[in-house]
Structure 1
Amino acid sequence: MDLVFTEEEQAFRQEVQQFLRDNVSPQMRRKMIEGRPVSKEEMVTWWRILNKKGWNVSSWPREYGGTGWSTVQHYIFREELQMYPAPTPLAFGVGMVGPVIYTFGNEAQKKHYLPRIANVDDWWCQGFSEPGAGSDLASLTTKAERRDDKWIINGQKTWTTLAQHADMIFCLCRTDPHAKKQMGISFIVFCLDSKGVTVRPIQTIDGGHEVNEVFLDDVEVPFDNLIGEENKGWEYAKFLLGNERSGIARVGVSKERIRRIKQMASDVKNRGRPMIEDPTFREKLAFAEIELKALELTELRIVADQGKHGNGKPNPASSMLKIKGSQSQQTATEHLMEMIGPFAAPYNEHPESSYEAMDWTAQIAPSYFNNRKVSIYGGSDEIQRNIIAKAVLGL
């Protein structure tokens, strides 16, 4: 079933598609299709092309560089980026700290940080999770103590995504140890090259380096780097996490993977026949597509609801998208693994195979393993179910 968009929306989709064809380098696109790492330089170059077009901070208010697009246009733009595929704007800057700054920051902070976020002059990372504070984030223990005109920060953050690339970090710190745990937290930003900051890599199960530990030992931060009011950081964190979960279903990513599965299943043979002709495999693939279509329709209903009410607040029903989106992404990588079978092993381990161009299979197993995380980050499935129970069902 084809989804119905207006002529204006279809014309916008075509504009986005043409822009991607004209501006995304073939090398970067190939890396993304095959699940290979894209370099920092490639991503920054691409985001600056988007920024020059006026699309890198498309979701921001017009006065800060946003486009004024409708919610459906934002949906189309995100979906086309994911399906092409091309890197979506850096979430930590554009989707997280940027909205916090233009909503709660002072004028000096807006003037300084927002243009730099839009042009990726600063690469941002997120300092929320700690070894003892993951889903129970309010239990964080990183402390920021005020001394004269500075904050002195001590503590540890973990699972800090792409901190190895980052220039800046936005950090939740406990500034009132005597207050109720949600009430004594502040939102502070600072440079990662500050004295006392140590970034250590964490190697993930797929063999990659995507996340890090960040150690903070007597880090001196100007007092003016506090965003908003002291001890109001929990309020800002909830606002940020609501924005983070918007679009987290990543329907376009799953669509691209399903497309790739179909393409590869026509070439990969099992017992002398293409995998796409295997009835059991076709049934699994059809079920995955039906589930993905249902997810897409649900997301569009939520998008339409946001557009109708126009209050700019994340819909708590987006938690359903997070759960089902995670399942769709994981299912797609499972089908890739099943289809490619032993060829999912690193290609240099079977150099004598008659199957040509083994290089294109090399990232399937790492992608499968890496996608086990998607039901955890951005709020685990269990947390999302609690949100649905309370905020959607009123239980």
Structure 2
Amino acid sequence: MDKEEQEGRATWVPGALVVGAGPSGLAAAACLAARGVPATVLERSDSLAFTWRHRMYDRLALHLPKRFCELPLLPFPADYPTYPCKDQFVAYMEAYAAAAGVAPRFGASVQEAAFDASAGAWAVRLAGGEVLMTRWLVVATGENAEPHVPDFPGMRQFAGRVLHTCEYKCGEEFAGEKVLVVGCGNSGMEVSLDLCRHGAKPSMVVRNTVHVLPKEMLGVSTFGIAMALLKWLPVQLVDRFILAAARLTLGNTSQLGLRRPKTGPIELKNLTGRTPVLDVGTLDHIKSGKIKVVGAVKEVTRVGARLADGKEEQQFDAIILATGYRSNVPSWLKDGGDVFTREGTPKTPFPDGWKGRNGLYTVGFSQRGLLGASSDALCVARDIHCQWRERERERDKPTSDVHEADSSV
């Protein structure tokens, strides 16, 4: 078969087609399999949980207790610590896929997915031209598909290293260097701490307000306490309690250059998706002066940067961009405008943004982490299963070859 014939051939996929073999895609496929619905999982890389395996720094561990991060149908191993490390999480993903019988198709890069109204199905074109047809398309590439890399004025002339946190592994290679860390989310805070512990001299850019909370209070997860209180109290009251406890534990973070938003941490998360920072030791190093808090980047120079809170150029040996990730959905999904914005974020807030039109579903875009992905996966599997079961019933209906003939008088 020549290339043109191969590119023109379309193959129908039984059951659902899941794009992405990270936690969201694996959860969706596992929940479908548990209901007897076949699912084909497409993954552009060469391994499952690629982001966790290759784009996370060495010291990373879950910031929330494992009971809040396990996927449907399979808990973490009992001998895992409360906060599993990166390698343990990847091992859990591998065991999860094996237990559910999910075998992703690796190296399958989706170039375009569009709804074919004449076929009543989604046409998914892969790199190389192969086309797959499916009644149910589950988008599970997630919110962190591509690193967000800002282009500051003068960035290209900088003589030192510039890297995103997806390329950062350990602070050891930066020992003795002055490093500008752009971003003060959980990644920026933790990378700054790691740099400091390996003898580097980090300066952390803080441009916006940020909620910094203790990871635990009196030995109990702050997140766990908040979730328990929310069962009985309104969000605003829980926010007040959490902030009061944070003030007692951490002190006034505004004095450190970390101004708090006027809206409470949980309410802000619900409204905007902005996640509060859980302190893992960074604040102590900020208080001691080992980590400097600086203003926004105005311009990058050949040997450093000019910042918003100072006129003079500051010298740096390296710049690390802790600027987060973005969705890649707009680059390949067509006809998804009822679900996604132009930026590839959900139009409908959690918990109702998992279903679109014409058999389109999403998992892992709720800005609720692994808990949100699990909720999405369960809802998607239940909905597709109802349709699958109805189609099976229609297919299994007996047909009669005997028809009554019209009688004429």
Range class of TM-score, shorter chain: under 0.3
Higher strand proportion: 2
Larger Rg: 2
Higher helix proportion: 1
